[in-house]
Amino acid sequence: MYLLLQPKITDYELIDSGNFEKLERFGDYILARPEPQAVWDKSLSEEDWQKRASAIFRKAKGKDQLSPDERGEWHNLKKMPEKWYLHYGQGGRKYKFKLSLSAFKHVGIFPEQAENWQYIEDKLQKMGIQDPKVLNLFAYTGGASIVAKGNGADVTHVDSIKQTISWAKENMEISHLSDIRWVVEDALKFVKREVKRGKKYNGIILDPPAYGRGPDGEKWILEEGINELIKSCLQLIDDKNFFFILNLYSMGFSVVIAETIIKQNYATISNAEMGELILQDSFQKRLPLGVFYRFASI
């Protein structure tokens, strides 16, 4: 089944997209930042973007839209706080995430991931077991970790950058949660060690970047490492109760690659879903923001 999944977050809105940029509302603030997949024209004028935006991100000089170096700087057009918050939750438990302007155009949350958060909630609730174990790799500021913990999971959160783990801890605390296990380590090293230990998890969330560095300078390139990483993760899946989520953001990287690796190394795939995570702007233009492959025992 190939799906196009669009999340719903009250505190977030994609207002417009085009000319390699996107205009987004995060809570009370509107931001303009680069988006290499927005190859079409903007629907609003440049003047409208300038009037609406609280801040605009500009890449460093000499860097084009497709450069792997996403460093740059924010230009505040209106008064911006050092940090503000986004709320998430439909009906049940409510979560709170800190947002802040970073030197890499990110603000602390990937709103398209709310579709996977809903999936995590659904699968954990249907498992009906006490303290299901969930492993979140390349876990960033912990959106998936927080949602899993809020649904009763015993969560291990792995990321190679101390600052993002500190950010994730703050998100846990302001969401009135506790006791997530934090691990600052290269994801592949951690997974291979867990395999040797015979560990099993009821949920695995795998969100590898196109490129990156581990805490000890380990080099990560998606095309070179994805096969070994997926194979190792599949060995950690619980025999009876489980879900598995893989996200891929690298432009041009097909979800069929993920499907092929998983099917080659896992005997029985049930309830599989694959497709694209998208955001639709207010002019009905649909912006692709990565592919996913996921499956579960229920």
Residue 66 pLDDT grade (very low, low, confident, very high; cuts 50, 70, 90): very low
Question: Any idea what DSSP says for residue 112?
Answer: G
The answer to whether residue 68 scores a pLDDT higher than 70 is no
Q: Does 102 map to a domain?
A: no
pLDDT given at position 61: 64
Q: Which residue has the higher pLDDT, 183 or 70?
A: 183
Query: Per the structure block, which two tokens stand in for 263?
Result: 């099917």
Q: Which among 86, 120, 154 is the end of a domain?
A: 86
pLDDT tens by residue, 125-171: 999 899 999 999 999 999 999 999 999 999 999 999 999 999 999 99
Number of domains the chain is built from: 2
The answer as to whether 162 is a domain residue is: yes
Q: Is the pLDDT of residue 69 over 60?
A: no
Domain assignment present for residue 96? The answer is no
Range of the domain at 60: 7-86
Rounded Cα distance, 2 and 6, in Å: 13
- Whether 115 and 72 map to the same domain: the answer is no
Question: Is there a contact between 281 and 241 (Cβ–Cβ < 8 Å)?
Answer: no
- Kindly report the CATH number assigned to the domain that includes residue 56: 2.60.40.1180
Q: Is 22 exposed, middle or buried (0-12, 13-18, 19+ CB in 10 A)?
A: buried
- Structural domain contains residue 93: no
pLDDT at 10 over 80: yes
Task: Give residue-wise pLDDT tens across range 275-293.
Answer: 999 999 999 999 999 999 9
pLDDT band of residue 213 (cuts 50, 70, 90) is confident
Residue 89 has pLDDT above 70, yes or no: yes
Residues 212, 177 within the same domain? yes
Residues 77 and 168 in one domain: no
Six token digits for residue 160? 């190679």
pLDDT given at position 99: 97
Same domain, 21 and 134: no
Q: Is 116 domain-assigned? A: yes
Residue 52 lies in a domain: yes
Q: Are 39 and 168 in a shared domain? A: no
Contacts for 228 with CB less than 8 Å, ≥ 6 apart: 188
Best CA proximity match to 293, nearest among 252, 251, 261, 268: 261
- β partners of residue 4: 276
Whole-angstrom CA distances from 174 to 14, 95, 96, 110 are 25, 8, 6, 18
Tokens of 184: 């600052």
In a domain, 94, yes or no: no
Global pTM?
A: 0.93
* 117 and 42 together in one domain: no
Classify residue 202 by its DSSP letter.
S
Q: Identify whether residues 67 and 173 lie together within a single domain.
A: no
Residue with tokens 């190859």: 39
| Residue 97 in domain | no
Say if residue 41 is in the same domain as residue 115. no
Alpha-helical segments (H) within the chain: 46-52, 114-127, 143-150, 162-174, 187-197, 222-234, 255-265
Gap between the Cα atoms of 180 and 165, Å rounded: 11
Specify the CATH number for the domain of residue 206: 3.40.50.150
Task: Confirm if 189 and 121 have CB atoms less than 8 A apart.
Answer: no
